[in-house]
Structure 1
Amino acid sequence: MAKQLELKNSTFSRYRGLIQSIVLFLVLVIAVLTFNIYTIFLVERNSTQVAAAQQLRGLTQTISRDLYDLKLSQSEDIRSPHIQYTLSQLTLNKDRFNKIVSAFDQGGVIEDSLGAQVSINALEDNQKVSLEQIKLQWHSLNTKLDGYLKVANDINTPALILDQVVDSTQGSSVSIYNHTNSILNELSQASLQQATYLRYLQITAISLAVIYFVVFMFYFVRRLTTSDAEANEARRETTEILDTVKTGLFLLDNDLNIGQQYSKELEQIIGHRDIGGKNFSEILTTMISVDDMDTTQGFIKQLYNPKVKERLIADLNPLARIETTVDDLSGYQRTRFLDFKFSRVYSGKDIIRVLVNVSDITDTVKLEQRLLQEREHNDLQIDMLTTILNTDAALITDFISAVHKHTDTINEILKGSGTSQSELQQKLQKIFREAHNLKGISSSLGLYAFANASNAFEDKVTSLQKEPSLSGDDFLPLAVSLDELIKLTQIIDQLNKRISSSQADGTVQVNVPENINKTTAPLFAFTQNLQQFAQDLAKRQFKQVKLTTQSLEDATPKTSLDEAIRDIAIQVLRNAVVHGIESPSIRLTRQKNQTGHVQIKLHVDSNQVQLTIEDDGQGINYDAIKAKAISSGLYSEKEMESWENRKLLGLLFTPGFSTYNQADDDAGRGVGLDVVKDRVQKLGGKIGIHSQPGQFTRFSFTFPL
């Protein structure tokens, strides 16, 4: 039965062109006949109008004749049959004249010369010029006729009335007759033209039919003789298409076995060679989870169920826009976004295969993500500017100065020499450290647009750090992102200058307590921003935190030590909230206040400055440090058996090391304490760490003056 259906379909396909040509010919014949009928209709309509115009011309003469007859019969008795008949004919002809004129003007029904009712259309606009003249002449004559006919049966009616009507008729009938002839000529010309069109159409249709028949015979006889050669050519072209198409195409049977023919691009897209005859499940095992695999198998089974409508389950496709890691056939694993589309293949009404089309939509998805990021970035710029308006201008000035220093440093690093992989990786690490500093100080001020831009910059650096092989050209995207940071800084600088100008004019006042010295006002504003920074961090981490500061305002403003204290406070405060402070539920189980407490103290004497940052969180988890070092491949378990806690603490300051499971905007990149170590070393300071598991962690930093 299936073979008979296939043979039937093959035969239909073979003669499909012949059938389509015959249908096209019939459509052409029907179209010509339809136009022919329409043209005949127009000719008949014009013939009716011509007859009406002729009748109108005759009525002009008849009315004039009846009036002259009445004038010659004035000596007769007005009740004589002759006069009464003439009056009735005059009335009837006048009414007919009115109806014809009205029908020519707006269309209507009139009586033809035989008394039959016929419908005529209104004249065309170019034909109504003569009609208007007729109406003008007839209006005057018709008025006098109506006046005469009202008194015509009165024996005392003066003869002068009839004389006036006759005189009017003499003046109007000639004009009406001539204009009626003009209408008659125009209608006759239109009828002649339409008849000519009809004749040309018939000649053209016959000619086309002959030409079409000749072409039809020549083409299809030749087509039938070469059908076998074309079939072979079609098979060859199919193979070429499968070899050149840029998407993955293959067929699946009911057991999920892949057909022997598939597009060459498929191997590159899914990262597998020689997949003909393999089971689709084997290929998907390396690409999706077990649960998704079960869902996919169930979805494909439903495609073979004829009771299920294909379009109704299209939205349930589990392999639409999936993110997966595939082998690019050159030994490297690449993250790609793939889109699988499934379509049924029918033989008659039977579903015999499922056609799968796989597309690599990585570039499209990345473009969508980029557009979304740019839109979010623009929205955040507005929030950033709003934040600047509510932040101390002097603090913003210090921020701009710090950003310039960091961006200049990044720029110098980018321009620096380096060709070996180790040198290039060191450049990335230095750039990462500076970018992390930028993110920290911008986050502390609530400049989240700038912080997000810095975070995006960090992401690009991280992506480069994962590359197995680097070159100088790989750093070009960083230069572009650095330019975006510089542009954002310029926007902040311009707005801050306007604010500063307003403050100088006395229009804006900074809310600083009277007991705070003006020289330390920026540091006071910084402590206020630290409070907000701590609350924002806690909110993002679903925690509750209270921050207290002591003597931060005692630092000497606008010094490198002052900047270091700010940077260190930001980085360690972030670590305390993210890593140290527990969630409210966990703190309650440990009989702690559900609000965590972080203290920042600054002590300044004649010889040194000491910064202490302490939290009452869970303390440092040395086991987690060791496990992370082993899982990341830094050290083996055997190498770390004898490590003391003090040595484990050193790992926290290693670039890229973090116990945080997943990197986000607040933690997980392993740069925060690396930045702290860098700032302390540059100032010749020392770091002290003391921690009690489940109780607290204290960082102390000592700097010489």
Structure 2
Amino acid sequence: MGILDLGRYKGIVFAITGFLVFIAVILAVNHGKAGQFSDNVAGVRFLESQAQQPHAVYDASVLLAQRLENGEKIEEALESLRKSASSFDNALSGLITGGMITDTAGEILVLPSLLTPEAVEQLKAGSKLWDGYKAKLDPILRFSGSPYVSAQPAPAAAPAAAPAASTVQLSPRGRRLQAALKDLTEYGNTAHGQLSKVFKDLSTRVEAHSRTETGTLRTIQVGGMGAALLLLGAIFLFFARNLRKEEAASNRQRKETQDILRTVNEGLFLLDKDLKLGSERSLALNNIFRREDFLDLTFDKLLKDIVPEKTLKTAMDYVALLWGERVNEKLVKTINPLNEVEVHFDNPAGGFDTHFLEFDFNRVKSEGSLSHLLVTVNDVTKRVMLSRELQESQEKAQAQLDLLLRILHVEPDSLTSFLTDADVSLKMVNSILKEPAREESAFRAKIDGIYRQVHAVKGEAAALGLKTVEQRAHAFEESLNDLKGRPSLSGSDFLPLVVKLDDLFNHLAQVREMLSRLVDLHHAIASRRAAGTEVGAEKVDQWLAGQDQTQVTKALTAPVDVAEATGAVGGLERTLEDLAARVASSQSKQVTLRCAGLDAVPEAYRRAVKDITIQLVRNAVVHGIEQPSERAKVNKAETGSLAVEFTQRGTDGYELIVQDDGRGLQLDRIKEVAVERGLITPAQAAMLDPRQTMALIFRPGFSTADRVTTDAGRGAGMDLVRILVAELGGRVGLASAGGKFSKFKIWLPVSERAVAA
């Protein structure tokens, strides 16, 4: 914008400039007149003082004549006459030359009133008188030496009676001086009065001129003030009319803006460089932020009570980044951390309401420089919730599909056995929850009992690859772990577990229903194929009642092994192989599993052996088998070896062995973790022998895992093994060699003894 590009303010600027120029002219005239008035005052004083000079010259000549007559020293009187004459002569010369005078400060001034013809004539007349006066003065002023005959004049205090002629003797020069003084006195007796009158007349003339100038100045001042007032009034009326027009237009525009801001659904406001909200904002902002007062509010205060501290800091850093002059706005907008931010508003009924807000920032430039940020806020809660519901629905559908596909690859007997055992375990959990308890120890015992049952369900679900069941059981364990960490417990703390238990029951019922329908479908497909008829995909869709996924159709219409569908021997072995492969894949390891004798497990031990082997196999893969690169460094095959053997020992009962060729038990690490978790003291750890150290892994809550996952980390697996073996009246043996192997040997009594136990 150029300096003369004044836009709508051009008229008022020019008017004010003209008014100021007019005032400046008036002030300049006033200043000039005031200066002339001051000069006139000085001139009057000068002329009045000079009007006395002719008298001074005359008095000095008379005094000089008296002293000469009395025979006194004349030098002082002569000098006084010279000064008076010279002063008057200089003053008269300046006035004649150009009306110039010298004020008391020595400054030369010009009086215009002395340049008029009348004044010039008066000055000429005075000059003529003075010329005659100077002719008489000239021989006196040029006198030098002594006018007396004797060197010493008569004393000044000579007796009055003594005749002066007898004592004063004048020299010829003295007599000439005396004659000149007499002539000067006679001339000056009339001339000095005339000269004084000339100067008085001039003083009167200057004074009259000064009065005239004063009147003129007063007229200029009054006229200037009147003109200034008229001009100011004209300016006021002109711009008042224009301002009314502009105000009407501004009000119309403001109303339109307010209508827009009141109507839009988005929250709109401006942020200045101090991050303060502007005065204009959309009405929707009140509803979005649930507040009415935005006066002097800054952006950080707007967000402070509704977002976490970390989100607030990130938001402020991002807004500060937008103020950078060289920032690429399009690039920065792609990393907007507030495009979907979760906020919490206090609820009058207690608690808080969760909403999701979307902030958009646009930089506003004025005259080429960044002046504000335009912020647009939208409440996108419905969109986010709908998106999440859609995602959850898709995840649920995908989970059901994955579950269905997994069921298709699980032996029906194994799955049926799992569902039966899981149902028993969950009913046991339900019974434990219903047991009355008042003491802290009773509550802790309930947690331990529930933990064992849920962990068993989780372990077998993981072995079968039923991820949805495993995840729900893992979430149940999370809740139990939270209860374990509380300093005190009450019955109400167990209420959330009822909800999770009900969810597990319902999910297992869904799996059971899927299994039932799939078994029926398998039999139908087998029967039709035996009759030489193929089953179309549309028929499969009807049987699946909505499970119309292409993958399911392909899986169901594939050839079916009737022996597998009816539950052939080897269900536990297959389960353990799948478990080992899945856990090894999640741990980025390689492992082969060899099973022997599992088909000979008595019915009384079936579930216990299954739970024990699942825990030991998973523990061996997670903690025992090394990474392929680690095994290669110690000259081991990259693929780890794991063996599970179940053997009958006649009347001595049964022996279950689980062995791996992994790193073995790290005794120092076991002691270190036991001390960290408060299971033993450092002093106790130093006194433990290898057998006692290995026994620590059976303690509840003991785990050497760095973090909790669905496969390890809670320290419940080995505790479950210990409890299961103890409940059957068996024993557990453990052997390990660092870097070579770990071997668990479990002895179980004969079936009758187990039933009795």
- The reply to whether residue 653 of structure 1 matches residue 672 of structure 2 is no
- The reply to whether residue 488 of structure 1 matches residue 528 of structure 2 is no
Query: What is aligned with 2:500?
Result: 478
Q: How far apart, in 2, do the equivalents of 1:501 and 1:235 lie?
A: 75
Is the CA contact 2:664–2:741 (under 8 Å) kept in the aligned structure 1? yes
| Bigger mean CA deviation after superposition, 576-585 or 339-348 | 339-348
Q: How far apart, in 2, do the equivalents of 1:237 and 1:319 lie?
A: 19
Q: How far apart, in 1, do the equivalents of 2:682 and 2:618 lie?
A: 30
Task: Determine which of 252, 275, 282 is the counterpart of 1:18.
Answer: 252
Query: What is aligned with 2:754?
Result: none
Query: What is aligned with 2:578?
Result: 532
- The reply to whether residue 553 of structure 1 matches residue 599 of structure 2 is yes
Q: CA deviation at 1:315?
A: 1.9
Q: How far apart, in 1, do the equivalents of 2:579 and 2:333 lie?
A: 47
Gaps of 5+ in 1: 25-233, 252-257, 273-279, 285-292, 329-335, 513-517
Task: Determine which of 412, 425, 428 is the counterpart of 2:431.
Answer: 412
Q: CA deviation at 1:377?
A: 4.0
- The reply to whether residue 440 of structure 1 matches residue 459 of structure 2 is yes
Task: Determine which of 391, 395, 402 is the counterpart of 1:383.
Answer: 402
- The reply to whether residue 585 of structure 1 matches residue 629 of structure 2 is yes
Task: Determine which of 587, 593, 596 is the counterpart of 1:541.
Answer: 587
Is the CA contact 2:422–2:457 (under 8 Å) kept in the aligned structure 1? yes
Instruction: Provide closer, same or farther for how the CA distance between residues 672 and 307 of structure 1 changes in structure 2, counting only shifts above 3 A.
Output: same
User: What CA RMSD, in Å, does the superposition of the two structures yield over aligned residues?
Assistant: 5.1
Is the CA contact 1:580–1:615 (under 8 Å) kept in the aligned structure 2? yes
Q: How far apart, in 2, do the equivalents of 1:348 and 1:459 lie?
A: 57
Query: What is aligned with 2:733?
Result: 688
Q: How far apart, in 2, do the equivalents of 1:621 and 1:260 lie?
A: 58
**Counterparts in 2 of 1:293-692, with a 5 A limit?**
297=317, 299-317=318-336, 343=361, 348=366, 351=370, 372=391, 375-418=394-437, 423-463=442-482, 465=484, 471-495=493-517, 498=520, 510-511=562-563, 524-556=570-602, 558-559=603-604, 561-605=605-649, 606-634=651-679, 637=682, 640-692=685-737
- Whichever residue aligns with residue 621 of structure 1, its letter is Q
Equivalent residue of 1:652, what SS?
helix
- Whichever residue aligns with residue 380 of structure 1, its letter is A
Cα-to-partner distance string for 1:117-145 (whole Å, 9 max, x where unaligned): xxxxxxxxxxxxxxxxxxxxxxxxxxxxx
Using the aligned pairs only, state the percent identity: 27
Instruction: Provide closer, same or farther for how the CA distance between residues 235 and 621 of structure 1 changes in structure 2, counting only shifts above 3 A.
Output: same
Gaps of 5+ in 2: 10-243, 259-277, 347-353, 531-559, 751-757
Is the CA contact 1:392–1:510 (under 8 Å) kept in the aligned structure 2? no
Q: CA deviation at 1:501?
A: 6.0
Q: CA deviation at 1:617?
A: 0.4
| Bigger mean CA deviation after superposition, 627-636 or 401-410 | 627-636
Instruction: Provide closer, same or farther for how the CA distance between residues 649 and 382 of structure 1 changes in structure 2, counting only shifts above 3 A.
Output: same
Query: What is aligned with 2:308?
Result: 270
Q: CA deviation at 1:418?
A: 3.7
Q: CA deviation at 1:532?
A: 2.5
Equivalent residue of 1:439, what SS?
helix
Q: How far apart, in 2, do the equivalents of 1:360 and 1:413 lie?
A: 46
Instruction: Provide closer, same or farther for how the CA distance between residues 636 and 377 of structure 1 changes in structure 2, counting only shifts above 3 A.
Output: farther
- Whichever residue aligns with residue 412 of structure 1, its letter is S
Cα-to-partner distance string for 1:470-528 (whole Å, 9 max, x where unaligned): 6243334323322333323432552465379669979675548xxxxx9xx76523213
Instruction: Provide closer, same or farther for how the CA distance between residues 306 and 535 of structure 1 changes in structure 2, counting only shifts above 3 A.
Output: same
Equivalent residue of 2:659, what SS?
strand
Instruction: Provide closer, same or farther for how the CA distance between residues 422 and 478 of structure 1 changes in structure 2, counting only shifts above 3 A.
Output: farther
Instruction: Provide closer, same or farther for how the CA distance between residues 578 and 419 of structure 1 changes in structure 2, counting only shifts above 3 A.
Output: same
Q: How far apart, in 2, do the equivalents of 1:690 and 1:650 lie?
A: 11
Q: How far apart, in 1, do the equivalents of 2:525 and 2:459 lie?
A: 27
Q: How far apart, in 1, do the equivalents of 2:256 and 2:497 lie?
A: 66
Is the CA contact 1:655–1:671 (under 8 Å) kept in the aligned structure 2? yes
Cα-to-partner distance string for 1:323-342 (whole Å, 9 max, x where unaligned): 99x9x9xxxxxxx9998957
Q: How high is the TM-score relative to the length of structure 1?
A: 0.52
Is the CA contact 2:341–2:357 (under 8 Å) kept in the aligned structure 1? yes
| Bigger mean CA deviation after superposition, 13-22 or 605-614 | 13-22
Q: CA deviation at 1:435?
A: 2.0
Instruction: Provide closer, same or farther for how the CA distance between residues 522 and 17 of structure 1 changes in structure 2, counting only shifts above 3 A.
Output: farther
Cα-to-partner distance string for 1:419-463 (whole Å, 9 max, x where unaligned): 566644543443332222112222323333433343344344445
**Counterparts in 2 of 1:236-255, with a 5 A limit?**
245=289
| Bigger mean CA deviation after superposition, 670-679 or 461-470 | 461-470
Equivalent residue of 1:570, what SS?
helix
- Whichever residue aligns with residue 478 of structure 1, its letter is K
Is the CA contact 2:322–2:363 (under 8 Å) kept in the aligned structure 1? no
Instruction: Provide closer, same or farther for how the CA distance between residues 19 and 399 of structure 1 changes in structure 2, counting only shifts above 3 A.
Output: closer
| Bigger mean CA deviation after superposition, 407-416 or 360-369 | 360-369
Cα-to-partner distance string for 1:633-677 (whole Å, 9 max, x where unaligned): 555545534344434434422333322122222222322212212
| Bigger mean CA deviation after superposition, 376-385 or 537-546 | 376-385
Q: How far apart, in 2, do the equivalents of 1:438 and 1:640 lie?
A: 34
Equivalent residue of 1:659, what SS?
coil
Q: How many pairs align?
A: 448
Q: CA deviation at 1:700?
A: 1.3
Is the CA contact 1:346–1:352 (under 8 Å) kept in the aligned structure 2? yes
Cα-to-partner distance string for 1:555-591 (whole Å, 9 max, x where unaligned): 22x32x1211111111100011111111111111110
Q: CA deviation at 1:391?
A: 3.5
Equivalent residue of 1:548, what SS?
strand
